[in-house]
Structure 1
Amino acid sequence: MRRIVATFYEGVAEDEVLRPLYPEEDLGPAEERFLLFLVQYWGGPTTYSDTRGHPRLRMRHAPFAVTPEARDHWLTHFRAGLDAVDLTPEQDAQFWEYVTHAAQFMVNTLE
């Protein structure tokens, strides 16, 4: 999971659409939060909720303009993360299905 998230954030760091959505200069804390969320979502320890409360993904992303373009960039970097690890086709499909639905759910503006 760590490799997926690290690869994702390597892409985000250089992305002209996504990088401005991250207010922190250092992406390390965001990377760690995302890792903890994914670990918890996929059945690992509840460290994310224990430290940050219920995920409430849409609420946490509401202050940011998440456009269809941003969604597509996000998915591109997540796809790179999945491609960086050795998942079975079934695991890959299950992960991809989740993130594509989650990414669409985060879209909150068309502009």
Structure 2
Amino acid sequence: MSFYEEIGGRATIQRIVEVFYEGVATDDLLRPMYPEEDLAPAAERFTMFLEQYWGGPTTYSEQRGHPRLRMRHAPFPVTAEAKDRWLMHFRKGLDAVDLDPEHDAQFWGYVQHAAQFMINSADPI
């Protein structure tokens, strides 16, 4: 079984993303990084990306090509503070699905690494 299947597949990832975007929707620092009025398209793209990354359907690449995460985030100032807020909301998503400790640690480790990699701007002084 893939990691994706072991954690419960799409339903689990959708719930993580749903809780994550509930936080983003009211976050004064992160919300401007999501220019679409409706966050649903961003949530679906993120769901598809996470599904593919963890061994689920390859719909993300079929529809959008290579993820190119840094390129796609380049227009937005991703600071250390933004990374911390992003991780705070993502942590709430992971907590909402209550994965077993091993899967939780693996998922959390990945998103911490990915979030650090996305930093492209210094925090304002």
* TM-score > 0.5, shorter chain as reference: yes
Q: What is the RMSD computed on CA atoms of the aligned residues? A: 0.5
Residues 36-61 of structure 1 show CA distances to partners (whole Å, capped at 9, x for unaligned) of 00000000010000000000101100
Give the alignment's TM-score, normalised by structure 2.
0.88
Is 1:6 the equivalent of 2:18?
A: yes
Report what 1:80 is aligned to: 92
Secondary structure, counterpart of 2:97 in structure 1: coil
2:111 to 91, 94, 99: 99
Report what 1:20 is aligned to: 32
Greater Rg over alpha carbons, structure:
2
Q: Which amino acid aligns with 1:4?
A: I
Secondary structure, counterpart of 1:95 in structure 2: helix
- In structure 2, how many angstroms separate the alpha carbons of the residues matched to 1:68 and 1:25? 25
Is 1:38 the equivalent of 2:50?
A: yes
Q: Which amino acid aligns with 1:96?
A: W
Cα deviation for residue 86 of structure 1 reads 2.3
Residues paired across the two proteins, number: 111
Residues 9-60 of structure 1 show CA distances to partners (whole Å, capped at 9, x for unaligned) of 0000000110011111110000000000000000001000000000010110
Once superposed, which parts of structure 1, at least 4 consecutive aligned residues long, lie more than 2 Å away?
none
Structure 2: segments with no counterpart, 5+ residues = 1-12
Is 1:49 the equivalent of 2:61?
A: yes
Cα deviation for residue 66 of structure 1 reads 0.3
Cα deviation for residue 94 of structure 1 reads 0.1
Secondary structure, counterpart of 1:36 in structure 2: helix
Structure 1: segments with no counterpart, 5+ residues = none
Q: Which amino acid aligns with 1:40?
A: Q
Give the alignment's TM-score, normalised by structure 1.
0.99
Report what 2:3 is aligned to: none
